[in-house]
Amino acid sequence: MSQNFTPPTVMRSRLGQARGLGSAKAGFHHWWAQKVTSFALVPLTVWFVWSVVHLIGHSRAEVAQYIANPLVAALLMVTVATTFYHLEIGLESVVLDYVREEKRKIATLLVIKGGCIVLVLTTVVAILKLAIAG
């Protein structure tokens, strides 16, 4: 061993040390957000499915009256926003993991984020329109 050898402070393979690769110190936010949204979506999805099943066979006016309840409208908007955020995070993780070309990666991420924003806004406007105007 040479005199200038200093032991690595982190456990990495020789190849990882040579390439300078290792933990990117990123990704925890995505992982945590995915877990939180998954946890939140369990009761929201159960409530949503129960609501849909409960409303089968009712007229549009009765459905509008049900959605006019502020709590129902708020829960619908939270369900929609959480679902699309969960979708965005998942698709973003797939793109970051599997798309190698930088320009394609950036374009795909922008399409995903823009698409999710447009879909959330469209759905929230539809919920508000149905809740307010009937």
Note down pLDDT in tens along the chain; length 134 residues: 556 665 556 666 666 656 655 555 567 888 899 999 999 999 999 999 999 999 999 999 999 999 999 999 999 999 999 999 999 999 999 999 898 899 999 999 999 999 999 999 999 999 999 999 87
CATH topology of domain 26-133: 3 helical TM bundles of succinate and fumarate reductases (1.20.1300)
* Residues 42, 58: Cα–Cα separation, whole Å: 25
**pLDDT tens string 83-107:** 999 999 999 999 998 988 999 999 9
CA neighbours closer than 13 Å in the CB half-sphere of residue 44 = 19
* Residues 52, 36: Cα–Cα separation, whole Å: 24
* Confidence at residue 27, expressed as pLDDT on a 0 to 100 scale: 72
Structure tokens, 78: 């939270």
* Residues 119, 81: Cα–Cα separation, whole Å: 9
DSSP letter, residue 59 = -
Alpha-carbon separation of residue 32 from 27, 89, 90 (angstroms): 9, 10, 12
Query: Is residue 85 a contact partner of residue 34, using CB atoms and an 8 Å limit?
Result: no
Query: Where do the domains of the chain lie?
Result: 26-133
* Residues 106, 10: Cα–Cα separation, whole Å: 31
The reported pTM is: 0.77
